Structure 1
């Protein structure tokens, strides 16, 4: 006859363990201590077994019967409930140690042949956009819908290109998780095509008119002075923005008028020398009074130990009224006008632009190659830039 909750509550302990049977193999065992434990008796291959369900009253009668029914379903499949429980617990232990955050950081650490800056970029991308939302979830349990929600947040703040990159990195991470037996599939693969990459706008050089307008805007700009100096130096030195942002004071010798950039901070991973013309030195001396107390030429305001955000200078350029141009256009501008001047050899221009030599049979790269000509060219370019309105009038 089935048990009732009153019977179980009122059942007293004796000097020996005793049992009260319910139905379909369920019974409760009452220990001499008064503790009461639910048990399920079953047979597989003619052998009797007992499966522990839980303790009363934490597990009530209705819950015990529900757990008994789950166990019966496994027995009908020829599976021991205790074996299934041990497997599930072991899997849960593994998954608790295999959250998306744990696996992502392990994947990033496992990547070889990448620069420290790229590794830092991966950590920042996951830390900012994924870890706060799905980082604690087992990597196996994260769904495509949850990942899409994270990437949509990026899209809403205008970081569509970044969201596409992160989606690709997620797929790489999930392939790593599959290889290490912590995931069965790649949910990020379902998101390919969910974001549309905006058309690429190639760099375009400034005309003399536009160069003159930029000089006028710089002179009247009332924003943060370090940003103004940055834009002027970008025009004069035409480095890549990422190389510029990583600049360190220890690499700048103002007395010798040279910026010696280590290979690890250059896109092409080659040491690069930048001859500094007089006005560039003057700007850097002024900048030193602003940021010279730290490591970086252009530190972030919130995190002085990190370079300024990549969009900062482009936003300053927009606020100056130079809409339609980006900082990368300074390189195209210098390249175009230097070539059109006819005064300098292409080898000199290309090496100062830090372009890779196409002829693989040539001798090893020499960072100081053509230095006298490069100094002359940088001085000419500074004068040309500073007198752009005058140059335009003279048609030079």
Structure 2
């Protein structure tokens, strides 16, 4: 183990040599007598060196503290050398040409072309995954390895498709910077082949009734915020798309205190870009009433638990299912497959009605486009049958939200 006396007394030689401390830290002594702190480590099975500064400008204690910080970064699965490079780039920053500044300029110009839901998802993905790491870095200081390192962190949490979407958004920002005269290259385009491939196919789903009931029981037993649990319940009761649920607003609902309650989802929030009516079961109405104390003050049903003026995270329900043990077995979108399979097995003559309930395209596209109330009474009956089937054996709403819950599910 080194001491200051040992470092001070170390003499240069004809060739550079090392004076070792512990944990990969050493002093590199050049023939000219310079003493440079370096930290040796492995990242992704490759040996790397991180320069920490010159002695005595960086003291022994400071070098050891820097080593421990680098080791913390390694434990989190990140490369200390890449982190150091980002910090150096940020020190030379012109705030008008940081990645975040250019990205927000690009977003303001493009968002008028997008649906409200898509625009929200675009900026939130950058705010969550990119701006905290690269937002302060000059647009021309970001290289392909830096982009790939950030996208790798997204991949490592299992969000492969999200990493590809964010890479495309970053690439659009770089192209905007080039066109605006403040950028010189598109490093996000270069890394596309290096990302893990998206394996497309059917969304994983449990499609037998007993298995689905077990999933609901186990997932609703998880520690989670009441809003998240109620969102999951409304999702499996109605079989709408997760995005349609996340952006639901109280103004979309009518007749909740009457015999024929409806959820009217406007066209701009629908995949098929046409209004969709969802007849509500007794259980769905009760879920909405249980939700009202948590979000009735907001226009949207499902506020983000940390930023309640925004809607809940697109990952909240997926993370809840994963925690319950259903990673790669069932995703939020999978409730639609569960509903379709189970109900079609029981009501084969109602296949077209079930398709309408799922907002699928009808063979008669004219009628499907203009008659949003088609089969409405039968849809109402089937919605109640489905709610009765899937709710059997589940905990009451009071039990669901009564126990202490995580603050940020």
Range into which the TM-score falls when normalised by the shorter chain: 0.5 to 0.7
| Deviations, residues 281-316 of structure 1 (Å, cap 9, x unaligned) | 122212223332332222121111112222222333
Partner of 2:165: 165
| Deviations, residues 192-234 of structure 1 (Å, cap 9, x unaligned) | 2222035346233421221332354467556444333332322
Question: Is 2:358 the counterpart of 1:326?
Answer: no
Inter-partner Cα distance in structure 2 for 1:172 and 1:164 = 13
The answer to whether the 8 Å contact 1:205/1:336 transfers is no
Offset of 1:346 from its aligned partner? 3.0
Partner of 2:257: 255
Question: Is 2:182 the counterpart of 1:176?
Answer: no
Q: 3-state DSSP class of the match of 1:260?
A: strand
The answer to whether the 8 Å contact 2:305/2:312 transfers is yes
Offset of 1:240 from its aligned partner? 0.9
Partner of 2:185: 185
Q: CA RMSD in A?
A: 2.9
Offset of 1:115 from its aligned partner? 1.5
| Deviations, residues 220-276 of structure 1 (Å, cap 9, x unaligned) | 556444333332322221011111111222222312411112222223322211101
TM-score by length of 1: 0.65
| Deviations, residues 61-111 of structure 1 (Å, cap 9, x unaligned) | xxxxxxxxxxxxxxxxxxxxxxxxxxxxxxxxxx87444333322222222
Alignment CA distance shift 1:191-1:343 (3 Å): closer
Q: Which consecutive residues of structure 2, in runs of 5 or more, have no partner in the other structure?
A: 1-93, 395-409
Inter-partner Cα distance in structure 1 for 2:159 and 2:349 = 40
| Deviations, residues 112-166 of structure 1 (Å, cap 9, x unaligned) | 5311222232222333433344434443343223323332343344444322222
Q: 3-state DSSP class of the match of 1:164?
A: helix
Written as runs of structure 1 = structure 2, the 5 A alignment for 1:1-396 is: 97-111=96-110, 113-200=113-200, 202-203=202-203, 204-214=205-215, 216-217=217-218, 223-253=224-254, 254-256=256-258, 257-322=261-326, 324-342=329-347, 344-357=349-362, 364-387=369-392
Inter-partner Cα distance in structure 2 for 1:121 and 1:244 = 14
Alignment CA distance shift 1:377-1:344 (3 Å): farther
Instruction: Say which structure, 1 or 2, has more relative contact order (CA 8 Å, 6+ apart).
Output: 2
Inter-partner Cα distance in structure 2 for 1:119 and 1:272 = 21
TM-score by length of 2: 0.63
Offset of 1:320 from its aligned partner? 4.2
Alignment CA distance shift 1:213-1:133 (3 Å): closer
| Paired residues, number | 295
